[in-house]
Amino acid sequence: MPLGGVLFIVVFLIAFGCLMLWLASKLGTQKIADPVKYQSYECGIPVQEKKDTKISVKFYLTAILFIIFDIEIIFMYPWATTFKDSLAAGQGLYVLLSMGAFLLIFIFGLFWEVKSKALEWD
């Protein structure tokens, strides 16, 4: 049963990773306490504390568009597996056209996103 195998290897990997980290911490050289060493690494200049780092909302937009298009792509998978079977069953044109309509919506969405400059990074 594949699920058992997957669970087994996940548990094994976690154990392996933890063991390695533990081993590395035991074998590692002695710590030399120095408060500066444990600060965030910002290329040597003193750490700057700004209340809010402005992060572009583009990252978030990309993620939203990713969800939408990802689902549309997932919808194509069952279609792709059954396409040859449908052809053999003589329903080829029907399935092709119904997917064609879906693809048209997809293309229109992609076209709109490009046109509306939602995908522009500057």
For residue 88, state whether it binds other proteins (rule: CB under 8 A).
yes
DSSP string, 74-99: HHHHHHHHHHHHHHHTT-HHHHHHHH
- Residue count, binding to other proteins (CB under 8 A): 94
Contact assessment for residue 65 and residue 113, using Cβ atoms and an 8 Å cutoff: yes
User: CA of 73: how far to CAs of 4, 22, 76, 102, 103, in Å?
Assistant: 29, 42, 5, 11, 10
Q: Which of 33, 45, 46, 74 binds other proteins (CB under 8 A)?
A: 74
Q: Which of 33, 34, 46, 120 binds other proteins (CB under 8 A)?
A: 120
Residues in region 28-57 near other proteins by CB under 8 A: 28-31, 37-43, 52-57
For residue 27, state whether it binds other proteins (rule: CB under 8 A).
yes
